[in-house]
Amino acid sequence: MKLGFIGLGQMGKHMALNLLKSGEELIVYDQRPASYPEFEQRGARTAAQIRDVAEADIIFCSLPNSEVVCQVVLGETGLKKVLRAGQIIVDTSTINYSTTLEIGKQLESVGVEFIDAPVSGMESRAKEGTLTTMCGGKQELFENVKPYLQCFADKILYMGQPGSGQLTKLINQLLFDINVAALAEILPMSVKLGLDPEKVGAVVNSGTGRSYASEFFIPMILKGSFMDGYPMKHAYKDLVSGAEISASLCIPMPVLGAATTTYQMALLKGLGDRDKGGMIGVFEDLLQVHYRQPSPEE
């Protein structure tokens, strides 16, 4: 069995390295070959172009957005034109639900199987091989690829028909986004009213206001550190997907709409390179306070 992996970014690099635990032959590709030496030292092959990966029986993708996945899989120089019937594409990227369905349909037309398997977890969990992955597609196909998913994920859930993995990941991401937007709004208020930010953080993270978002981001915010998570400018695609579903299916989501407004304000302020904790800058500026130690450039 030959495995392929396309996309050696913040998450993909560690996922691909963990696939070496399978004992199978691995060929990897990325536009930026900076990590190639590490893979070559560990016995993996490296590809000069995307189509070189097409020799693999199962090809994993970990790419930044819908457009890039479409280009890699369906584009003029992409995989579709050189794949053979019976090969399997496993997309671990987080992309639009509608795009996922279209990719699956296009691959099915040439006899290629497809699983959407977006992952959840920070870079540290990708390194540890303890990600969560949610999968959509044929169940028998899922069972075939599950042993390889176990190389980088310790919670693997079959969610149902094609696209179900992306829908499940989106639900998780939207709840996370709402949590962070709430922190960005409420924490500066506590300082405006004279409370000690560190003590407020200690109460939140030991009380009923606690969430994964608060536990991860409050310590980072207090240090003025905003580069420990996924950049907002890339993560915004999840909110776009949520808005599309809300509009197309007439599902009211007022709380999500409010969180999206905070997110948009942060992007318009030029904070897109920060992780989601950087949203706090919106309300710090509005209230003219700092919940944290300001950085030198502020």
Task: For the chain, list the domains and their CATH numbers.
Answer: 2-160 (3.40.50.720), 168-287 (1.10.1040.10)
**Tens digit of each residue's pLDDT (9 = 90 or more) over 29-56:** 999 989 999 999 999 999 999 999 999 9
Paired tokens of 282: 């919106």
pLDDT surpassing 70 at residue 61: yes
Q: Which of 13, 80, 169, 237 is catalytic?
A: 169
Q: Is the pLDDT of residue 293 over 70?
A: no
Mean pLDDT within 240-250: 93
Cα–Cα distance, 97 to 117 (Å, whole number): 12
- Percentage above 70 pLDDT, the chain: 98
Q: Which of 76, 42, 72, 48 is nearest to 60 (CA)?
A: 72
Spatial distance between the Cα atoms of 131 and 119, rounded to a whole number of angstroms: 6
What's the token pair of residue 69?
């996945």
Distance between CA atoms of residues 293 and 35, nearest Å:
35
Higher pLDDT among residues 96 and 152, named by residue: 152
Please state, in angstroms and rounded to a whole number, the distance separating the CA atoms of residues 247 and 29.
37
Catalytic, 80? Answer: no
pLDDT at position 298 is 54
Q: What is the pLDDT of residue 228?
A: 83
CA angle 263, 218, 215 (to 5 degrees): 105
Averaged pLDDT for residues 168-196 = 96
Per DSSP, helices labelled H in 57-138 are 66-74, 97-108, 123-128
State both tokens at 173.
């991401």
AA letter at 273: D
Q: What is the pLDDT of residue 83?
A: 94
Bridge partners (DSSP) listed for residue 4: 27, 59
Contacts of 236 (CB under 8 A, 6+ apart): 263, 267, 272
Distance CA(25)–CA(42), nearest Å, equals: 11
pLDDT at 295 over 60: no
Mean pLDDT of the chain: 94
Q: Span 106-131, mean pLDDT?
A: 94
Q: What is the pLDDT, as a whole number, of residue 89?
A: 98
DSSP 202-253: HHHTTSTT--HHHHHHHHHHHTT---SS--HHHHHHHHHHHHHHHHHHT---
> Considering only CA atoms, which of 38, 10, 43 is closest in space to residue 27?
43
Residue 231, C-beta contacts closer than 8 angstroms, at least 6 positions apart: 272, 273, 274, 275
